[in-house]
Structure 1
């Protein structure tokens, strides 16, 4: 198998050579590395996780490697050839961060710091320090943790992110795991508060008239009490912050915990030295009674407030995965197996394809399948977002997780485990939640230089105050330098995009709008042209045959031929012909040399006769001449909005099939709303000019094109993109796959084919154009929310750092205490998450 990867950190040919040599040293692979573009093409005997490649490169230098494939890590040359029909000259999109298939139950960082890298335990992200979060799956063996900012960090058990230092969160959002992490923080918070409050009272006692504490002991002894009380806070309750800070320095993944560790650590060490060796300090650092100004209270209050921020953040973050939790709750744990006429309750994990299952009134449907006996009404609102129950009868499909009404029925299991729609939705939501929106590049670029700049500003603040500040100048400089370090919060920048994407994608899933990645979510907001197919997109996709016309008055014989031919086609029109024949109890017969010609129709040999069924282009291709009489009758049908297929036998046009496909009730309103929002709606259909015109006029479309082959749709999208348009394409068939792949945003109807859904970036479960309106509105709301978060984070730091440095002091005499700075810093990330959570109440 062959994989392609993106490698970052290479700056010269020496780096390229070093990376290539390092990767080739791994058994079982052959690697070719290029500098421009920075890619590694690796041939493997068996799949090797990207994490193993990353470990090798980390040992060699500051290089990172990410899978250059957003769908699957198992990419072979065969599969690439197989999908070549969907390829185009369009530059490849930046792949979303996709975890390997064996990542279920493991942990990753929600900031995507290390690409697809996962961890077995919920430690902190090695780059940003944030807590890892767990991959949410319906079936998992043990709880894994990951970072909300770096989804590639996946570990077993709670901890902190080795990248950003944040607390890891469970990948599978179970209440038990979340409560465990939260309860641990609560316990530490109680200890921190218990010891910090007395320290704060002792330090502030000078403000109390006649200071009663000084009557008990002198200041030097109270300083020793502060030291003793601070030890549990520093070395137990908040020690994790110093561990994360140290890890960030030795790996040079500077983050918010770097600043917290430096700021509070310097204050604590200064206080220790001042307590044990007071004589080495100049007088300006001392009080009137000769003791050194100590900062045990600043250290403990700062750490306690940061811990409070982590506590609130853990509480808020658990709510961002609320949509996934609700989806996970849909999966039942048991099912009733019908075996030898008796019912037996079994675990959902024991269900096999082909099993007959009894679904009782009020039960959740255990797996995907079809009803074989009985009928009922089923609540599918949790999948489609539509509140009205759907009537189901024999041969109708049912979906895992949906709720049965007041009747019992028997179904056959067709898709189990990870194959069910519910499992796929959960996986898609997980993948999209971890993906990176293009807008995040700005925050990433700034965050890279943020911490070193803040440290530099802190040093400058100290020296400026020490040189030009009022007495005690060095004390002022020391306090303000610490305030600068503490108030800065790069995690607010890092969280701005991932939190909004996570909540937005989950909200979309609840409404039946499945989004594959954050890039599609962002691009949907920019879309100004919608290309849509007709059959199954604008129309119901459930065509029915109105009549079969034959010039030779042998309709039943002709129907048998074309129905037999169509039994091998999956096209909705073909199925309509087959169903029409079955309704007339006409038996299907053997067909030889069957061929489906994309965008035109089908041909084959029936009872030793060459039969062709399709549009006018097919007739031209097989050299069939259509008589004027037949053509006139066909045109008359088409002007009524009917789809008409020509029929030829042995090179002679002998009749036609008239098929009607009702326009969806929601299509008119959806198209009207999209046009109101400034979106140009264009219908590209393989149907004839007359039928296309009738539909376009009824829907008041911007424009349309009839007789389009798959390559015509592809060319039209490229043409519009060449004009600078942002194009969305909505379709449901195999013939739409190339256009869906080429479009800036491909939108597949959930009622369509697997190929179309795979090629698209957004899937509408219910499969109507109202879903596009919802996707557009959701995209707009999420992007607005992200911009609000980024503005808040940027504005907060731009405003907060100068104030902490003391810029207001010369004008208003205002200084910012490091303790207030710690409180503000803690709440900045919480505010970003809280703002993202507002999307949960979004009305679409």
Structure 2
């Protein structure tokens, strides 16, 4: 076996690790692939050589950094491959993995999105580009310079501006949307002000193209041209720009349709004798109404779209512009950008905390609901961590800054929400593929329609040809298709953030809606994660209680296991003795040696068995403890049992209700535990879970997930995001429960900002509602075009004897976009907490 270590700059999460693992294991099923997204480090133990592995990773979309590979001939990494970089083997400095955001101007439809996406993706140095139509932005990862990316977008006929500050960019985008909405409304009013009277006049009067009336129609035609050149100019500018770049978009269709109607009408006015008498119809009002109705639809669409990013705006509004810092004994109000880590900050009653930190003096209750979704204020005192954006209660605090700017917990949440909102779930791929060829296809359809009507249609052929071709061009604008997926994704991910659920990307959002099984880790997930000793039995006749306590303290103060804290709390008065040769064994316990050479063993039954220590005398006592859902920790000294401790981590108050919600949603719930079968089943029974896998080592969790997937289950995994990282990555969706640590945010598909399984139920409910909404939008958009284009082409003419008017086509096209956006906005009113059992909801309401 060969051990390889790579630096993978394109690796951002455990989902990336999962894809790379699949690529390598496709060639070597026994390969072990472990990644650390935070460090951009990938370790692979495989029979493949470096060239084969590099090729597989590159093909999977994760090319290794050129000088970031280390290799040894054995299954263990050598010194250079482990630990921190040295002077001889520095880690290559690179910012390739840092996503950069750009504001994109000029996009009007899904065709524009594809043009910008292609321009960015084909730029040298770009690893990944994601264009968001609803947010009018792009996220780009790679080494390409900002100048190169901007030039690429401009070469495609659009404009790009780097986004340095998300708050400023969001405010600018909202202001720009309001300005465009007003402009569209004014342009629409101008067009309709002339178009409506003209349309009404056409109903009661047949134009006479002789004498003075002919000149009147000529004047009206020139007035129409003036409106098209002002209120409708943006459509023609956009169409010309697309033409220059060998593209076609929504503006192309509108410009062609309205221009065709105007040119034909002017030809009738100027050269009536050259056109058959039955075909001498005027359509000035059609040009005006097309521009007016589409402008009105876009104004309504912008107004509806303005509400989609409210969750992100609320998060951004939590940030402070100033902070009250204590410098040289004086309290000063300074700009938030000037605050540095280590500075002391005072926060007064009712103020928001400006940065993350640790309380030094004072005591207060902090409202963290906007970050965690938990409504109950949390008591904070000296030594406890506080977060930027949270609201101070009545007390006054002085705390020391630990994270500032974008590195705060709030900053990371804002960045993740913004990035996730810009992503697209896989369900949108079909719409992307269709929209890439949609506009050219519509133009071909319009030409075929015109040829058919001109050659085989009834008289007057010229009129029917014009109406049918123009109507096909107008009705088929792909705005609704382009908005169907991103607008719902943006709102759904924002809604999840409001409920304390951070969604990594659109893929995680879609996958969560299809889960059939949820695998739940016991400690810290179902339980409080704060175990305490509930029973003890001293067995050794040669050791006093104080001596046993001293040994336990010496062993456990070096351990990071949650149960160690419980044992230390129960023996906190003891002074530790001197030990040597300390070792920790994952999933079993710890060992060491006393100065007199006697071995020390502190762990579970498996460890005692390995040490040859007899537990028969305590079997009845330990069975009773395990029936109370307690874990049993044994202490062996030499070759004899010295003591046993019963440690119980109580079930969370809301775990039972949350499990009931998840099961009511149709998911099987499976519990994993390293405890004994008896203790694990006691907790599972209390929580309402039937399937339990006990006595597991951390590495076994991934195996269980794989086993369930092998049965055809779509598996979600709930864990703490650190020890459970392989299982979280293996699952279709990993839910990291806890306080949003760096590792959790980087590793999981979804991160729960509060310690409750209700967050998982909320996430699944929001995911399902969002995907249902996307499907409604896609079916509506596809159905609209599938029905609209044939009707516009005239398939109903043999039945109705009339063609669809271009005016109705313009109205229908505008309403289709407004309908999609309005339907997506229904998600803003979706409340997953309505699905909670009423008794639980009442208890939580009373507690607040």
Report the TM-score when normalising by structure 2: 0.79
Deviation at 1:645, TM superposition (A): 1.9
Is 1:810 matched up with 2:810?
no
In structure 2, what is the Cα distance between the partners aligned to 1:568 and 1:135? 48
**2:689 matched residue in structure 1:** 701
Is 1:455 matched up with 2:443?
yes
Is 1:555 matched up with 2:551?
no
In structure 2, what is the Cα distance between the partners aligned to 1:115 and 1:616? 60
In structure 1, what is the Cα distance between the partners aligned to 2:702 and 2:337? 43
Residue segments in structure 2 that go unaligned for 5+ positions in a row? 1-6, 17-50, 72-76, 83-94, 124-128, 140-145, 833-848
**2:751 matched residue in structure 1:** 763
In structure 1, what is the Cα distance between the partners aligned to 2:293 and 2:420? 33
Deviation at 1:470, TM superposition (A): 3.2
- Please give the per-residue CA displacement for 1:127-186, whole angstroms capped at 9, x wherever unaligned: 9995762479xxxxxxx9xxxxxxx998999x9995899xx9x96564454223422442
Q: 1:500 aligns with which of 482, 488, 492?
A: 488
Q: 1:135 to 1:410 in 2, by over 3 A?
A: farther
**1:55 matched residue in structure 2:** none
In structure 2, what is the Cα distance between the partners aligned to 1:130 and 1:221? 45
Deviation at 1:657, TM superposition (A): 3.0
In structure 1, what is the Cα distance between the partners aligned to 2:482 and 2:634? 59
Deviation at 1:642, TM superposition (A): 1.2
Instruction: Say if 1:543 and 1:659, in contact at 8 Å, map to a contact too.
Output: yes
Number of residue pairs the alignment of both structures matches: 745
**1:219 matched residue in structure 2:** 213
Instruction: Say if 2:156 and 2:245, in contact at 8 Å, map to a contact too.
Output: no
**1:229 matched residue in structure 2:** 223
Is 1:302 matched up with 2:290?
yes
- Please give the per-residue CA displacement for 1:493-540, whole angstroms capped at 9, x wherever unaligned: 222111111101100000011111112111112111111111100001
- Secondary structure of the equivalent of 1:596? strand
Deviation at 1:712, TM superposition (A): 1.6
In structure 1, what is the Cα distance between the partners aligned to 2:524 and 2:674? 13
Deviation at 1:298, TM superposition (A): 1.9
**1:127-166, aligned counterparts within 5 Å?**
133-134=136-137
Is 1:103 matched up with 2:92?
no
In structure 2, what is the Cα distance between the partners aligned to 1:191 and 1:528? 51
Deviation at 1:697, TM superposition (A): 1.6
Is 1:330 matched up with 2:318?
yes
**1:236-635, aligned counterparts within 5 Å?**
236-249=230-243, 251=245, 254-271=248-265, 280-286=274-280, 293-547=281-535, 549-552=537-540, 553-582=543-572, 584=573, 586-587=574-575, 593-604=581-592, 610-621=599-610, 623-635=611-623
In structure 1, what is the Cα distance between the partners aligned to 2:363 and 2:170? 35
Deviation at 1:397, TM superposition (A): 2.5
Deviation at 1:430, TM superposition (A): 1.5
Q: 1:221 to 1:188 in 2, by over 3 A?
A: farther
**2:826 matched residue in structure 1:** 838
In structure 2, what is the Cα distance between the partners aligned to 1:115 and 1:437? 19
In structure 2, what is the Cα distance between the partners aligned to 1:757 and 1:655? 40
**2:175 matched residue in structure 1:** 179
Instruction: Say if 1:129 and 1:162, in contact at 8 Å, map to a contact too.
Output: no
In structure 1, what is the Cα distance between the partners aligned to 2:446 and 2:539? 91
Instruction: Say if 1:501 and 1:518, in contact at 8 Å, map to a contact too.
Output: yes
Is 1:675 matched up with 2:678?
no
Deviation at 1:549, TM superposition (A): 4.1
- Please give the per-residue CA displacement for 1:563-589, whole angstroms capped at 9, x wherever unaligned: 34333443322233334444x3x4557
In structure 2, what is the Cα distance between the partners aligned to 1:642 and 1:116? 60
Instruction: Say if 1:127 and 1:161, in contact at 8 Å, map to a contact too.
Output: no
Q: 1:625 to 1:43 in 2, by over 3 A?
A: closer
- Secondary structure of the equivalent of 1:470? coil
Instruction: Say if 1:191 and 1:232, in contact at 8 Å, map to a contact too.
Output: no
In structure 1, what is the Cα distance between the partners aligned to 2:581 and 2:203? 98
Calculate the aligned-residue CA RMSD, in Å.
Answer: 4.1
In structure 2, what is the Cα distance between the partners aligned to 1:581 and 1:251? 76
